[in-house]
Structure 1
Amino acid sequence: MSTTTTSTTAPVRVIRRDGGASAFDATKIAVAMSKAFLAVEGDAAASSSRLHPLVEDLTAQVEAALLKHARPDTALHVEQIQDQVELVLMRGGHHKVARAYVLYREEHAKAREVAPAAAEFRVKDVDGELVPLDWDRVGVVVGEACADLADTSAGAVLAEVRRILYDGITVDELAVALVMAARALVETEPDYSYVAARLLLDQLRREVLTRVAGRPAEATGGQMSYADHFPAYVRLGIELDRLDPELAEFDVERLAAAIRPERDGKFDFLGAQTLYDRYFLHDHGTRYELPQAFFMRVAMGLALREDDREARAIEFYELLSSFDFMASTPTLFNSGTTRPQLSSCFLTTVDDDLQSIFQGYRNNALLAKFSGGLGNDWTPVRGMGAHIKGTNGESRGVVPFLKIANDTAVAVNQGGKRKGAACAYLETWHVDVEEFLDLRKNTGDDRRRTHDMNTANWVPDEFLRRVEADADWTLFSPDETPDLHDLYGTAFAERYRAYEAAADRGEVTVFKRVGAVDLWRRMLTVLFETGHPWITFKDPCNLRSPQQHVGVVHSSNLCTEITLNTSADEVAVCNLGSVNLANHVTANGVDAARLERTVRTAVRMLDNVIDINFYTIPEARRSNLRHRPIGLGLMGFTDALFVQRLVPGSPDAVEFADRSMEAISYHALSASADLARERGSYESFEGSLWSRGVLPIDSIALLAEARGGDLDVDASTTLDWDALREKVRGGMRNSNTMAIAPTATISNICGVGQSIEPLFRNLYVKSNMSGDFTVLNRHLVADLKALGLWDEAMVADLKYFDGSLAPINRVPDDLKALYATAFEVSSEWLIEAGSRRQKWIDQAQSLNLYIAAPNGRKLDAVYRLAWHKGLKTTYYLRSTAATSVEKSTLRGTDGKLNAVQPVAAPAAPPPTPIATVPTGGSDDALVCSVTDPDCEACQ
């Protein structure tokens, strides 16, 4: 075999089952695979010329997967390596060989179980000394982790731990071993995810207390005192020049007394690991922030300008730590720090000159540096073939400039916390739109490709009318048609037709005439193939904008939920946070009083962001202070359906989407109006739709009028909107108040489903920047337990059927309907629910569309329906792969556990396949992974 040991900064170690270590050697994997093939295929394999290159290729795949996240001095357990060997064999279709390998491992695992266990273990402490393992403390910590979780067993976790211990294990490795032991049981009981999170918290406590105290220190949950720790934490953060010195002026003891330590137990493993990896403050990699200190720090940062700062900080803390509301990721990263860049999204417009274009790159870099997601409007840049007066040459079009924007987003990756991300928008009449459609393709001239940047079509109504009429469509260069960029509705249509007539008279030099249906078909085809450009609608965004009196919405943002004006002088900024709807419903419906309290406090928190914010460019500061937009959204929608037993894709679910969004809208607008009375209206209020008493529910009529009545939107209401209109007419604190973002990360923290997303699978592996995590629908598990159906066979069935209940005969039909997965719910229902929400929202929503077996006819029908239903934007098109979904083993693959080097994986039973979200490749390029870390950029 030519495969050799891979070298990294430090050698990768392999931990053997006896506790010893050796250097990673891929040739051993190749030998084991060769033996497996020989055992199954016998002499035929030995004499085959294909065996050597096949094993070499499979070994390379194993090695690449194992070392993908390798860091200096990474330690892999032999079980992890064997798990990956099985996975690669199964992916390659070598099922008989994989089965033989599984049986071999099972036999050896049973043999090891009956082997006598070592009587004593020693632990290597931080000074390198070997000391006896304090098994009593381990028992207390595991017992605390399992407390109040009825279907978990401390004994089961301890048994797993004992199987992977070895004499001389380090303190850090022991901490990881505890977490790994618990997470290995998640597939049988979802509450073990909470156990794993609490064990990770024990590891975090030791790390934090040691850093704050300046000496080795640890505490169990029962011994931990936030009252003692919190003041010392604030002092340390200020000394390290990370926390704002103004935090010391708070009554820190009063705030410490208000902390609720028991809420540390609310995190599941995915949420806890995500916080550990990316959110908690650290000093050169050593964390010094505990979960409740984290929430209180964020709350203090948001209360800095309040009159009674302590009372407001406690109010904000209660909202965050209860998971009733969660601020967006930049706010969580930076609130209370010396660089409080708290805003989520930034929208820019690039003018048609080099100075503006390169200023745009600079702005993108500065905005992305502190965790901002970017939406860039590139429509003004002249198209290919347009005349350049200064050089008497011809333009190469907008695409080469987009390549540089792409590379800027990659280079500025937000300090490693999450990837830099941007979305480029182009209007459908731009002469370069056909090249724009190809930006994400993997073929063609790579200098005219943007593999890392999102793209979106900014589609005027006139184009969709031409599609429906099967008429022609004309493409122009914006240097010859500059006013089209700022026009919308009837004014755009009239001016556009005038330019077409001018082109016919020879008065326009750069233009191209195409069939509207042909271009539409190509837009949908490329969307199917690459996932981009997304389809967003220019006219609804502008005709329903409260701020149309002072500007134009030229694009949306990175995640298509923000619709704010942009210009050369103003970079639009939005400040996001989301209500956890799952916490505001009971089996009987919405808890109206709790929802009102949450929304009113959340609006105040988001408004505070604007004044406290650290602005990296003056155009953003100017815009944000003048208009003061915020974007209150929601998450946990599907969880709320489950609590109420509402079937997704049903009239009842659509009605709940309508009524819940109506309540959020009502209270958000009322809260902003009340803040205006307390603090004053935003600067550009006069002349806005608000000042005329036109609310989002009323602006539907403006869109219907522009479309000649061609709009299919349910306009029903249930609350007292007349009284609110009068209140709003008197003043609003914020130009915009609502936007539903994807919440890809903050929903993980809260342990609920993303945003308004349908259930992806009932069991699958979720991947993000913190690793791979088992996701199991705990609502379903509770129902199956009640029916006596939750057992190992059910777990195996869920794995085999990729998390779908439909093919499992013993599951009742009512549960199959309630827990239908995203691809089992018609996209028409998602659009109808989106339409019902959109009527209440002054901005937009990140609406993904799921189509199990897409074709041109389906895509055409779905996106036309979205337009007719008045949606402002759509987001990703998600589809199942052309081939079967990827399978991977469950045990031993959950999470990266970045806290310390991974060690001994639990000795596992024969791994069973579990569905993993396809990541999009040559066979499934149309698929945007639901768990793709790149999708986390908004929240």
Structure 2
Amino acid sequence: MTGSFSSPSEARASSSPSVSSESHTHNALLQVIKRTGQAAPFDDRKIAMAVTKAFLAVEGQSASGSPRVRDSVEKLVKDIVARLRRRSPEGGSVHIEEIQDLVELGLMRGGFHKVARAYVLYREEHARQRAPAPSEQSGETHPDINVKFADGSEAPLNMGRLRTVISDACADLDGVSEEKVLQGALKNLYNGVKHKDVNAALVMAARPLIEEEPNYSYVCARLLLDGLREESLSYLNIAASATEGEMAELYPTAFRAIVERCVEHELLSPELLKFDLERLGAALKPERDRQLTYLGLQTLYDRYFIHWRETRLELPQAFFMRVAMGLSVQEDDPNARAIEFYDLLSSFDYMCSTPTLFNAGTNRPQLSSCYLTTVPDDLEGIYGAIKDNALLSKWAGGLGNDWTPVRSLGSHIKGTNGKSQGVVPFLKVVNDTAVAVNQGGKRKGAVCAYLESWHLDIEEFLELRKNTGDERRRTHDMNSANWIPDLFMKRVFEDKEWTLFSPSDAPDLHDLYGSAFEARYTHYESLVESGAITLFKKVPAQNLWRKMLSMLFETGHPWVTFKDPCNLRSPQQHVGVVHSSNLCTEITLNTSQDEIAVCNLGSVNLVNHIRNGEIDHDRLRNTVYTAVRMLDNVIDINYYAVPQARNANLRHRPVGMGLMGFQDALYKLGLPYSSVEAVRFADQSMELISYFAITASSNLAKERGRYETYEGSLWDQGVLPIDSLDRLEQERGAEFCTLDRGHSLDWAPVRELVKKQGMRNSNVMAIAPTATISNIVGVSQSIEPTYQNLFVKSNLSGEFTVINPWLVQELKARDLWDSVMVNDLKYFDGSVAQIDRIPEDVKQLFLTAFEIDPRWLVEAASRRQKWIDQGQSLNLYMAEPSGKKLDNLYKLAWSRGLKTTYYLRSLGATQMEKISSGASQSDNAKPDVDDTENQEPQPKFCSILDPDCEACQ
């Protein structure tokens, strides 16, 4: 609530309930005595503004036009004015505190207890900010330490300001010690220390304390923020530095200066100057800076905030408002929408994907996350596709390439009368291009190549990431994925042969799926038998499947993705074919030589929508409605590096709204990930998101028009994602499907709405990894289980201690949190399974990713998949991989109707030894699936200890 109510600039910038002219004239006879002792005319409109803002702070921006709020505010204001009239019928003076007391009393009497509480907290916070810091006022300095400034001058270390900054950083946080931070910082300071290093010493003093108390992460963030404020404000000539309390007044001024200076430096678009910067600055909520963790703020500082010659210009709330402005430039009322979008982003209820955060409001707003391309079978087309990769990667897009049309090794080349070298040599070029052209200089370039399982080069494709063999046929920096048709999986189950073809001999298989693919594939097999096709290879389907799985856990690639469910359940099958997924396997969009599929991503923070032990439907609805609007705006605002991407995006308008904080939501609800209840929650939460997202897109269609290719789509046929399961079962065969079709909502109104209004977007949902944006928000990634309860995370911003705050909270509640517990967690790599004094129910709740039977992950994912029109990035964790376990797991994923899977994560030997001596996977409850498995020799496997793909988000 800090700084939200009574700023004069806010009063001018916002609309307030009307007050009669008669009462306003009478009020002019009163004088308000400010805290400075100055007198000013009484203006009841300021009371109306303060109370309205209090309501909006509690109930959200959606309440701004509510007649109930308007009437309540007007009644309260009239009551306060009447009381003042009775008290001073002839005029006089009243102190500002008395007026605020009357406001507080009026809210309580009116039954608005939450609003009253927010108002009380606002008053207390501002009282704290106004209180002078005695040490700073006294000018206390350190007798032995001088600080050297950039201009060469020196001055004694200002201990007063040091204490004030630390006090601000520790305020309102339990379990932290100002003195610990101060003494730790003084140990790292010395005579002649550079001014810029003083802030670094403060941060470094607090960092090691995070492992014993998670709240020190917020302390670190606030200390880092003090340095950021100094960096930005001094460059903008606003102030040499500023405390948190001073920022309540400085933020609006700083915001305007940031936008103007960034436009001047050609870092932001001049379009942003058309906004009412005073109004937007007044809408900023400085107190939301306090939500950021150290990892979150450091990530923003290093990679997201706009900078000029290595000086960061943006501050957190200015950053979120800049993104909001960039997404609202084409709205009918851009200022109001910018405030709405800002409020959603800065609350952390929802977060845009990384490209949107990077580029919104800039001169080249490349806001999209993923691009999917199909590579044609000619030299010009192949190198054109590689050029497209470079251009798209330059502007921060992740890439998925469909290489199936390219003829195989040994195929005849008519133009030269020679033989083709196949797909692999070209993939080497793709690999090196991804390394050479990173994403805007801000993160590594990333691409994934897809190949269908009938392609004659598939066996060599499987070995691309091996560390042995011909290096000219290896791609160590590129991802790869199998695009597997259902017929192959049936042949695996039935232990039959599988035939490999060159696409030059069987070109139409690329565009076929379901029963049509089966018919054509068997036709080509008959041509082999008759001798009409001579370039082929027959292999036992099980042997090829085993090699796929073997390479998966030996090298981490290729990933396992399924062609038929992606196409049979695609709303857009009437206009094209899904030939691949994207870099992170959650996007399933059509591609062709004329269209590069584009997806625009963002994620709902699920844990923020848990209230009183259940999902807050109203809050989730409001979040999703605004989020879908923001995602749809991306399509029209977006900068397209290649014309095929623009063509596809404007025709189909796909977006991909996902979620993050799923594991946190389970913690908040007290549900172990490996439980039937967690699977049920995955089902119900995704159903709600799907319900609201489809409704939101349909409402946008009414407002803005349907997407161009709507006619003939599954939406147009009245087939929603949940309904498309019928098509999958019909085409695949019921004996190969074990699909859940349960629901908890009444979908009839949504079907009727779509029938009447259509859809604005061809696709609406996709669950991306959220590796980086979840760091910013400070929640668990996507749908991931907790990796470890205590570990050191490494990314492009450095190394960060990450400790599970939910675990610490639970152990504190049971009086079990102490230094011994910290050491035990370190020894057991963040696992609680072997710590004897931790109760069993706590152990089950805080099982880590490798302690959860991976089939629970598949079960939860299958329940989500029935509601999603695209896919989900699903990492699978297996502590002790074996051929049989992998075979069962991925067959289960296919039979449950999953469209794609992502990384297979496994442990190194040291970590495995510690886990196996404690609670093994077999000790945990298992889903209701076939549990038969043989103990086989353990093969080599991929050891990726920190699952952080930062390519999509």
TM class by smaller structure: 0.7 to 0.9
- Contact 1:882–1:924 (Cα < 8 Å) also in 2: no
The whole-number CA distance in structure 2 between the counterparts of 1:235 and 1:283 is 13
Partner of residue 26, structure 1: none
For 1:662 and 1:884, how far apart are their aligned partners in 2?
Answer: 37
Name 1:219's counterpart in structure 2. Answer: 242
How far did residue 586 of structure 1 move? 2.6
Q: What per-residue deviation string (whole Å, max 9, x for no partner) do you get for residues 567-608 of structure 1?
A: 000000000000000100134210111000000000000000
Q: How does 1:467-616 map to 2 (within 5 A)?
A: 467-616=492-641
- Cα deviation, residue 218, structure 1: 1.1
1:540 maps to amino acid = P
Take 1:806 and 1:216, find their aligned partners in 2: how far apart are those partners? Answer: 52
Match of 2:950?
Answer: 936
Pairing partner for 1:169 from 189, 193, 196: 193
Deviates more, 1:656-665 or 1:799-808: 799-808
Say whether 1:130 aligns with 2:154: yes
- Offset of residue 925 of structure 1: 5.3
Q: Contact (CA 8 Å) 2:774, 2:781: kept in 1 or not?
A: yes
Q: Which runs of 5+ in 1 are unaligned?
A: 1-116, 888-921
**Does the C-alpha gap of structure 1 residues 807 and 929 become closer, same or farther in structure 2, counting only changes over 3 Å?**
closer
Q: Which amino acid aligns with 2:446?
A: A
Provide the residue aligned with 1:712 in structure 2: 738
**Preserved CA contact (<8 Å) 2:576 2:591:** yes
Report the residue type matching 1:396 in the other structure.
Q
1:432 Cα deviation (Å)? 0.2
Tell me, in whole angstroms, the C-alpha distance in 2 between the residues paired with 1:301 and 1:711: 45
The TM-score, its normalising length taken from structure 1, stands at 0.83
Corresponding residue for residue 664 of structure 1: 689
Quickly say closer, same or farther: Cα 1:408–1:886, change in 2 above 3 A: farther
State the Cα distance separating 1:303 from its structure 2 match.
0.5
Q: What is the alpha-carbon distance in structure 2 between the residues aligned to residue 250 and residue 228 of structure 1?
A: 15
Q: 1:884, CA displacement in angstroms?
A: 3.6
2:880 to 836, 853, 868: 853
2:30 alignment partner in structure 1: none
1:479 and 1:586 map into 2 onto residues whose CA distance is 58
The ranges of structure 1 where at least 4 consecutive aligned residues each deviate by more than 6 angstroms after the TM superposition are none
Matching residue of 2:444: 419
- Secondary structure in 2 matching 1:692: coil
Does the CA-based 8 Å contact 1:209-1:218 persist in structure 2? yes
Question: Which amino acid in the other structure matches residue 720 of structure 1?
Answer: D
TM-score, normalising length: structure 2:
0.82
1:883–1:923 CA contact under 8 A, matched in 2: no
3-state DSSP of counterpart to 1:360 = helix
**Mapping 1:764-843, distance limit 5 Å:** 764-843=791-870
Is the contact made by 2:142 and 2:156 (CA closer than 8 Å) also made in structure 1?
no
Q: Is the 8 A contact 1:881 1:924 kept in 2?
A: no
User: Which deviations, in whole Å up to 9, do the C-alpha atoms of 1:894-935 show, x marking residues without a partner?
Assistant: xxxxxxxxxxxxxxxxxxxxxxxxxxxx99751234344xx1
How big is each residue's C-alpha offset from its partner over 1:855-878, in whole Å with a ceiling of 9 and x where there is no partner? 000000000000000000000000
Amino acid across the alignment from 2:147: V
The CA deviation string for residues 798-856 of structure 1, in whole angstroms up to 9 with x for no partner, is: 01111111100111111101111111111111101000000000000000001110000
The one of 771, 775, 784 aligned to 1:757: 784
Distance in 2 (alpha carbons) for counterparts of 1:882 and 1:863? 23
For the 8 Å contact 1:327–1:578, the answer to whether it is kept is yes
Q: Render the CA deviation track for 1:195-225: whole Å, top value 9, x for unaligned.
A: 0011111111111112222x87211111221
Distance across 2 between alignment mates of 1:246 and 1:790: 53
Question: Aligned pair in 2 of structure 1 residues 192, 529: CA closer, same or farther (>3 Å)?
Answer: same
Q: Find the aligned partners of 1:645 and 1:931 in 2 and give their Cα distance.
A: 24
In 2: Cα distance, 1:808 partner to 1:612 partner: 53
Would you say the 8 A contact 2:143–2:156 is kept in 1?
no
- Residue 193 of structure 2 aligns to which amino acid in structure 1? I
Work out which of the residue numbers 921, 926, 938 in structure 1 matches 2:942.
926
Q: Which residue in 2 is equivalent to 1:728?
A: 754
Indicate if the aligned counterparts of 1:827 and 1:849 stay in contact, CA closer than 8 A. yes
Distance in 1 separating the partners of 2:212 and 2:745: 45
Q: Which residue is equivalent to 2:871?
A: 844
- CA distances 1:20-54 after superposition (whole Å, capped 9, x unpaired): xxxxxxxxxxxxxxxxxxxxxxxxxxxxxxxxxxx
> Which residue of 2 is the match for residue 275 of structure 1?
300
Q: Which amino acid aligns with 1:638?
A: Q
Distance, in Å, in 1 between the alignment partners of 2:611 and 2:747 is: 25
Q: Cα deviation per residue 1:741-791 (whole Å; 9 max; x = unaligned)? A: 000000000000000000111101111111111110001101111111110
2:882–2:939: 8 Å Cα contact kept in structure 1?
Answer: no
Aligned amino acid, residue 717 of structure 1: H
Kindly indicate whether the alpha-carbon contact (under 8 Å) linking 2:907 and 2:945 is maintained by their aligned counterparts in 1: no
Q: Percent identity?
A: 64
Q: CA offset at residue 330 of structure 1?
A: 0.2
Q: Does 1:205 align with 2:229?
A: yes
* Structure 1 residue matching 2:769: 3-state secondary structure: coil
Q: Which amino acid aligns with 1:192?
A: Y
- CA shift at 1:883, angstroms? 3.5
Counterpart Cα distance in 2 of 1:323 and 1:820: 26
**Structure 2 contact 604–660 (Cα < 8 Å) conserved:** yes
**Within 1, Cα distance between the matches of 2:771 and 2:220?**
21
Structure 2 CA distance for partners of 1:923 and 1:719, relative to 1, 3 Å: closer
Question: How do 1:309-348 residues align onto structure 2 when only pairs under 5 Å count?
Answer: 309-348=334-373
Alignment match, 1:12? none
**Contact 1:350–1:380 (Cα < 8 Å) also in 2:** yes
Aligned: 1:153 with 2:177: yes
Q: Find the residue that maps to 2:572 and give its secondary structure.
A: coil
Contact 2:396 2:439 in 1 (8 A): yes
- Matched residue SS, 2:459: helix
Give the match's secondary structure for 1:387.
strand
Cα deviation for residue 173 of structure 1 reads 1.2
Contact 1:764–1:775 under 8 Å retained in 2: yes
What is the letter of the counterpart of residue 928 of structure 1?
I
Q: Deviations over 1:283-315 (max 9, x none)?
A: 021110000000000000000011111111000
Residues 288-299 of structure 1: matches in 2 within 5 Å? 288-299=313-324
Aligned equivalents of 2:940, 2:828: Cα separation in 1: 19
Q: State the partner residue of 2:896.
A: 869
Report the 3-state secondary structure (helix = DSSP H, G, I; strand = E; otherwise coil) of the residue aligned with 2:673. Answer: coil
Structure 1 equivalent of residue 473 of structure 2: 448
Check whether the contact 1:767–1:931 (CA below 8 A) recurs between aligned residues.
Answer: no
Give the SS at the match of 1:551. Answer: coil
Secondary structure, in 3 states, of the residue corresponding to 1:687? coil
In 1: Cα distance, 2:809 partner to 2:495 partner: 52
Q: 1:125 to 1:885 in 2, by over 3 A?
A: farther
Q: Distance in 2 between matches of 1:119 and 1:252?
A: 45
Hey, what's the Cα distance between the residues in 2 that align with 1:765 and 1:324?
A: 26
Could you tell me which amino acid in structure 2 is paired with residue 725 of structure 1? Answer: R
Does the CA contact (< 8 Å) of 1:267 and 1:749 recur in 2? yes
CA contact (8 A) 1:654 1:833 kept: yes
SS of 1:415 mapped into structure 2: coil
Partner of 1:35: none
Are residues 924 and 267 of structure 1, via their aligned partners in 2, closer, same or farther at CA, if it must alter by over 3 Å? farther
* Matching of residues 243-254 of structure 1 within 5 Å: 243-254=268-279
Bigger Rg, which one? 2
Root mean square deviation of aligned Cα: 1.4
1:206 aligned partner, one-letter code: E
Which letter does structure 1 place at the counterpart of 2:182?
L
User: How far apart in 2 are the matches of 1:884 and 1:838?
Assistant: 32
Would the aligned equivalents of 2:499 and 2:525 in 1 still touch at CA under 8 Å? yes
